[in-house]
Chain A
């Protein structure tokens, strides 16, 4: 076990004091915006699921009306996620030039989302869609709270652009760099990583809120099983993002397969526990409280539940395949290197 957590395995062991400080600050910012993203994503999911409910029942006008009123909720989610991407771009990138370009792009996107949100709220206030700046619902201060939230991101976007301008492509910080994604796989990679990140956000929000508002009293085993599933999703995200991605290249190669195998075992165990809990109480998902799976409830389908439950398995299997392919590649290349007798 010690082998996995030795300081020497991680990129930061090569950092000087200043780099470590920078790395820590950016990691903290990433965590903060991950938490913001998680909660705003859950809110956006609620709003989205409600609109889907209307569409499924053939009422497109209601869906559009609701989506318009909740536009600030959707944009708040985008702002939070883009702030996370902004720090992610600062944290790991192929090279400094790309880092600057990526930071600039994300800062502009952030400003755009915040700007659209501010303008949309003002238009809706003028048009009477909002009856006052503190009309209330879903929060007592809505939409004022959304205006204030946007202002934070406007400030962050402007700060980033000014900072980049000041240092003219030569950033005064040096952080770890990652390998470039193969061009062919870039599309699949982006979809997979985005989906994975959203599942992690969703699971974190569900795990943390669910602890307080699920009915453990009447549905203990099911609630516990689902909580464990959410926890597994968050844990896996943490392991791959904050552990694996911080490893040195040679250690990544070494640990990929064992991590994938361990992950698969844990994931299969969690899914098995969930399935047993569900099989013993088939009423539980819709009765245990907390609409953690809003689309499942509005449209009465289980697919959404199964996606969330099976995600850690899919992630581990993917990692396992990647690990096996890499191992095969390494073996083949080492055999090629062997001297001919």
Chain B
């Protein structure tokens, strides 16, 4: 072996690692980002968010809690749970054993209740003892999971659509459910002491607009993603002007910087987006009706990491405001799930849906279960 040939691997290996694979242009492949499901009246979408399985988790207890949430939602919907949206932070500082267990659990439950589920990246899903591509492959391989991650020119690891189509012709799109990767965080400079939370980038908005146009301008849509955008806070500060409900017991945990504000909601609102639901801030499930668009955070699912304890005797005005809006008169924890039921008739799509928040707490004798309509 000459000196030159010995040096060859040093050049070749980095090239292999950087994957010289072709970057796909989303503009030319819009149809590849789309999954389809049959639409029917009272199509139910259950949002589970911030489950946060981590190295400290007792997955035994987490699964027991999740069993109760899924059973409750299944019974509440009259045994018609169609889609489960996992809106990010399914894991945090987790390992491959826990991820495998999680996917197996959801596969088993989706067979049991007959739902499909969609996996959306949260900021913490990237931080574990596994390769992000390996995590993506677990979802990709799962039979009942919607997940798409091409090597494309679009920001985020995975952005995809679920088109709810006419059950007979299988092509007419009735509703469109967007699943966006709102990223993780970034530094403003190499020496920044803090990180800013990420936001939905311009190219993702453009992709959404293109996908929506392909489905039909009149098609109503719902978007699910993880990190709240700047609109949440703006609407909260002006909440007297809008119908709003539920709790806001901490910041929305967006980046709070006008320079990094997303244009997504502003643009999508003019293209028939009817709902935008996210997670990220566990002590917040505050929801607002912004003209025709409902914007809100889902209820945190499960006891992992942190969650708010709602105390009816609290002097915190934000807690009292939330309590007054939901009408619950006993102490409970802000954990559970959120349910969207699309109520449009099959042949008369008007963009109508109901939103309910489920608060479910395990208790020694009778579990606390409360459904609150928006």
Contacts and interface: CB of A to CB of B under 8 A. Distances in A.
Contact of B129 (A47, A66, A67, A209): A209
A49 B94 CA distance: 12
Interface residues of A, number: 56
B292 interface: no
Given A216-B18, A217-B17, A220-B14, A62 B307 contact: yes
Interface stretch (B1-9, B95-103, B112-120, B365-373): B95-103
Most buried by B among A136, A137, A282, A287: A137
Given A136-B59, A138-B95, A283-B186, A50 B305 contact: yes
A217 to B, nearest CB: 4
Contacts of B98: 137-138
Contact of B128 (A212, A291, A303): A291
B195 A70 contact: no
Contact of B192 (A43, A66, A302): A302
Contacts of B101: 136-137
A63 B303 CA distance: 11
B159 to A, nearest CB: 15
A32 interface: no
User: What does DSSP make chain A's interface, helix, strand, loop or mixed?
Assistant: helix
Contact of B59 (A47, A50, A137, A302): A137
A215 interface: yes
Nearest to A223: B17
A215 B18 CA distance: 9
Contact of B131 (A51, A213, A282): A213
A75 to B, nearest CB: 14
Interface string B241-268: 0000000001000000000000000000
A216 B57 CA distance: 29
Given A47-B55, A289-B132, A282 B189 contact: yes
A214 interface: yes
Contact of B303 (A62, A286, A291, A303): A62
Contacts of B126: 286-289, 291
A301 B195 contact: yes
A136 B101 CA distance: 10
B183 to A, nearest CB: 7
Interface in A300-314: 300-303, 306
Contact of B184 (A47, A53, A216, A286): A286
Contacts of A42: 129
A140 interface: yes
Contacts of B303: 62
B187 interface: yes
B45 to A, nearest CB: 27
Most buried by A among B185, B190, B305: B190
A326 interface: no
B305 A62 contact: yes
A137 B60 contact: yes
A69 B58 contact: yes
A47 B305 CA distance: 11
Contacts of B134: 213
B132 A301 contact: no
B184 A287 contact: yes
A282 B127 contact: no
A41 to B, nearest CB: 13
B185 A286 contact: yes
A291 B194 CA distance: 16
A275 interface: yes
A131 to B, nearest CB: 5
A73 interface: yes
Most buried by A among B93, B183, B187, B191: B93
Contacts of A287: 126, 132, 183-184
Interface string B18-61: 11000000000000000000000000000000000111111111
Contact of A291 (B60, B97, B127, B282): B127
B124 interface: yes
B57 A282 contact: no
B188 interface: yes
A59 to B, nearest CB: 3
B123 interface: yes
B207 interface: no
B18 A213 contact: no
A323 interface: no
A290 B131 contact: yes
Interface string A130-172: 1100011111100000000000000000000000000000000
B133 interface: yes
B198 interface: yes
Interface in B174-211: 183-195, 197-198
A138 B54 CA distance: 8
A126 B105 CA distance: 27
B92 interface: yes
B190 A282 contact: yes
Contacts of B127: 286, 289-291, 294, 297
B133 A50 contact: no
A70 B126 CA distance: 22
Contact of A214 (B131, B186, B283): B131
Contact of B132 (A51, A215, A278): A215
B55 A301 contact: no
A221 to B, nearest CB: 9
Q: Closest 8 A-B residue pairs measured CB to CB?
A: A291-B127, A59-B306, A66-B56, A286-B184, A137-B59, A289-B132, A57-B306, A216-B17
Given A50-B93, A294-B93, 6 more contacts: A49-B93, A58-B306, A209-B129, A286-B184, A297-B124, A300-B185
Interface of B: 14, 17-19, 53-61, 92-95, 97-98, 101, 123-124, 126-134, 183-195, 197-198, 250, 282-283, 303-307
Interface of A: 42-43, 46-47, 49-51, 53-54, 57-59, 62, 66-67, 69-70, 73, 130-131, 135-140, 209, 212-217, 220, 224, 275, 278-279, 282-283, 285-291, 294, 296-298, 300-303, 306
16 contacts: A46-B54, A47-B56, A57-B306, A62-B307, A131-B60, A136-B101, A139-B95, A216-B18, A220-B18, A282-B188, A283-B183, A286-B198, A289-B133, A291-B93, A297-B92, A300-B197
